[in-house]
Structures are given as C-alpha cells and as structure tokens.
Amino acid sequence: MKKSFLLLCVFLILSSSFVFAKGAQESSDSVTLTAYMQIDPADDQYRGHNEIMKVFAEKYPNIKIEVEYASGEAFHQKFQAMAASKQVPDLFTCYTGARSAYVNETGLVKDLKSLGKINDAYIAQYNDGTFAPQGANGEIWVIPPSFAVCHAVYANEAILTKLGLSYPKTFEEWKAQVPVIRAAGYYPVSMGNKDPWVVNSWLLSLFVDRCGGPEWFMNAARGKSGATFNDPQFVESIDIIKQMVDAQMFSPGVNQMSNGEADQEFYQQKSVYLVDAGWRTSAMDTQLSDEMKNAVSMNVFPEIKGEVTHNTSTSTPSEGFGISASLKDAKLDAAWTFIDFYCGAEGAAIRAKYGDVASYKLDANTVKMTTMQGKFANFQATHKMGYVFDSVMNGEGVTMLNNDLQEMMLGKGNGPKAIAAKYEAWVAANDTNRSL
C-alpha cells in the first residue's frame, strides 16, 4: 500500500512536468525566435555582430531571439543532423551555395523573394551582385551581409620605392621584378598555401576569370556550348601558376605555410607582396603600425597577356541568415525584421565601425572607416568581381584539383594539360553542375 502510494506520487510529479515543460505562453505582442548561428561571439571579429544583437534587442523588445552559437565545422555537423531530422530553427546561418546544400536544396529554407519585400527599390539599396540568384530556380536564400573577396595582391609600396620599383602593370613585368627583389634580400610573394583550398580560391579563380571570362566559366561548369575544362582557357589558368613557381616568385616553403605564417612574413617586411583575400584587411588594421598601413596598397593581379577580362578580382556572397521554410505569420515577420535590420542600413553601419565592408550601400561620408577597411571599400568599388571557382564547383572535385595544383607547385605530379583533363573527367562524371 505504502509502495503504491509512493509510486503514485512519483507518477503525478513526473506527469505534471509535461504540462509545465512547454514554458510560459508567449504574450500576443511578443515573438520568440530560435536561431543557430555559425559565429563565435567571443572572437574579436564578431564585435559588430554582438553590437547588432544588442541594438536590435533594444529597438525591438517584442522580438526575442534565442541563439545557439557554434563555430567552424562543428556548426555544419550539428546542423546537418538537424536538417536530416527536419528540425531546423527559425533562423540559421546559411551559405548561398553548395556549402548549405543540405538545407537550401532540401526545401528547408524559405525563398526570401516569396515575402514580397525584395523589389527593385529594395535591391537598389545594395551593391551589385547581392541579389544574384542563389537557387537553381532563382531563389534568394539569404541576403549576404557582405562579400568575401577571394583575391587581392597587397604590396609594400615603401619597399618597392626603396628598390626603385612600382606595382607592375603586367605579369611579365612582375616576373622581371623577381631577381631585383631577391638580390635586395626580400622574398617576392608570400602566400600561405598549406590548406587544400588556397591556390584555387585565391589564384586559379582569378586566372579562370581573366583567361576565360564568367560566361565561358559557367558554360564549362554546366557543360554547355561545348565548353569544358579541357579548353585552352583553363589549361592556361593552371599554367600561369606554374609560371609563377618556375619564376621563383613565391617565398620558400609556400606549400608548408599557413595563412597566418604568410601574413606574418609580409607584416615583418620580409616579402614585398602578399597574395591573400580581402578580409585580411581587418587583421591588418589591428596588427600593423600606422606607418605600415599607409605603406600597404591593395591591388589585383597584373594584366595577363590575352586576358578577356581586365582589372578584375573574385568574390562570393558571404553567408547570411536563412529563414525556416515552415515559418509563417508573426514569426515570419519577426524573422524578416531581424534580417532586414542586420543587413540593412543600421546593421551595416554598426558592422562598418568594426571594419566590415557591407553589401548595403553605405554613405562613405557618414561612416568613419579604418585605414585598411577604407582601402578595401575602395577596392570593391573599383574592381569588377568574377566567380570564385570553389563556390560554384562541387567541393570534392575542387579538393582533388587543389591537390594536383599543390603537387605541381612542389615540382612533382602532372603538368597543366593533364591536370585539366583529370579535372574535366571528374566533373563530367560527378559534378552536379553538369546536371543543371
């Protein structure tokens, strides 16, 4: 009897927790959104994000966002599991391309165009390319808060002046500078090529754009109009990398150096040029002296003989926030309000304070930019952007290609034509772009 009574009490206590587990009911005026973001709020790089979240909470006290943060690959590993069980949060970090295919190609992300807010007037507030189609049918999954510029050549103008040189106009001129630079005890070019994506992201993408142009590249990616990666444009793109190695343009151990180590080599004025991405400017603002910041210019690869596009760099929209496809009514409105705030005028101005160059067209006179960020903003405004190779092509094939390029740079492996042929064979058999 005593045992039964005790069991009954335990049962009642446990079952009451199911009733109250739902938590307090939302009031009719307030909305709570769940969010999963690939951001490390403790990292200095995300100070702008932290301030945006604070200002948003103050401006919209009726919209509460419960955020879970994760960084790096850990974000994708958990999010893939969420996507597989069809339990995605209301808001989440989402890439425009294949990196988030497990949500944006499985019907879990809402097409922002369906909200009816993205009209011509809205688009005109943002830089070109912000609303380029992201899905196979022209969907817009995210508004990218900024662009990831994946090619820049930083030059130490002070050293160049000291050596009686200037930023080269052509690739041939650049190669001719190498003996002068080395004789003076400097390394010509630093580049951290240790990771299996750098050379194709920071150099090959640019050469493909210059040698073939965006139209040829998209045709080759999709196997249309007879274009393939066996074409001379692609072979030449690879050959330019080989020429750079043969001309001893890179500092020794280029394939062993991490990005950070290559940057340090440049910052310590051991090299004259640094091949890196546009986002390096935010680190330069904090790590370089004022004198060095004034001495560093931001350029693109010099003119290549026979190039079809000129003075270009490459960029891809940065990751943004996607909305769950199942969201509707008040929650959907709240989610859009957050995205519009984050990417629009207010969020862009906050991020600009911390060195981010926004996709939103900010009035440069109203925003005080740091030295290097000012150079970056000017860089984006004065150079047309081509595609980043690995943001279009499937990752597995690009990794294989990058390994072949690294092996070629080590003086081993195959030549440009064989590398191109191997890549084309892989793309034809496996790349999903060929089935579009």
Partner 1 sequence: MINVRQKRRSYYALLLPAFIIYISIIIFPIIVSFGLSFTKWKQYKLVGFIGLSNYINILKDPVFQRAIWNNIQIMLVSVIGQIPLGLILAYLLYRKWVKGSKFFEMMIFLPITISSVVVALLWNRVFSPVGLYTSLIRQLTNNPDYVVTISESPKYAMIPILVVLLWQHTSLYMVIFLANLQRIPDSVFEAAVIDGAKESTIITKIVLPALSGVIFTSSVLAISGSLKSFDLVFAMTGGGPVNYTSVMALYLYQQTFTFANYGYGSAVSIIIVVLSVGLITLANRLYAKAQRKYE
Contact set with partner 1 (CB under 8 A): 73, 76-77, 80, 83, 98, 101-102, 105-106, 185, 187, 194-196, 251-258, 261, 264-265, 395-396, 399, 403-404, 406-407, 410, 412-413, 432
CB 251 within 8 A of CB 417: no
Considering the complex, state which of residue 128 and residue 396 has its C-beta at the smaller distance from partner 1: 396
Nearer to partner 1 among residue 233 and residue 406 (C-beta): 406
* DSSP E strand boundaries for 244-376: 271-276, 296-299, 313-317, 320-323
Element containing residue 148 per DSSP (H, E): strand 147-149
User: Closest separation between CB of residue 310 and partner 1, Å?
Assistant: 33
Question: Please, what's the b/e burial string for 173-199 (b: 16 or more CB within 10 A of its CB; e: otherwise)?
Answer: ebbebbeebeeeebbbbbbbbbeeebb
Q: Which residue has the tokens 């984006």?
A: 380
Nearer to partner 1, 69 or 102 (CB): 102
Q: How far is the CB of 265 from partner 1 (least distance, A)?
A: 6
From the CB of 432, what's the least distance to partner 1, in Å?
Answer: 6
Count the Cβ atoms, other than its own, within 10 Å of residue 82: 16
Nearest-approach distance from CB 412 to partner 1, in angstroms: 7
Closest CA to 205 of 372, 418, 405, 432: 405
Q: How many CB atoms lie within 10 A of CB 261?
A: 14
Least spacing, CB of residue 406 vs partner 1, in Å: 5
Q: Does an H or E element contain 178, and which? A: helix 171-183
Q: Specify the residue, 236 or 431, whose C-beta has the smaller distance to partner 1.
A: 431
Q: How near is the Cβ of 433 to partner 1 at its closest, in Å?
A: 11
Nearer to partner 1, 62 or 432 (CB): 432
Cβ neighbours for 433, distance < 8 A, ≥ 6 positions apart: 221, 222, 223, 392, 393, 394, 427
Tell me whether residue 95 or residue 131 sits nearer to partner 1 (CB atom): 95
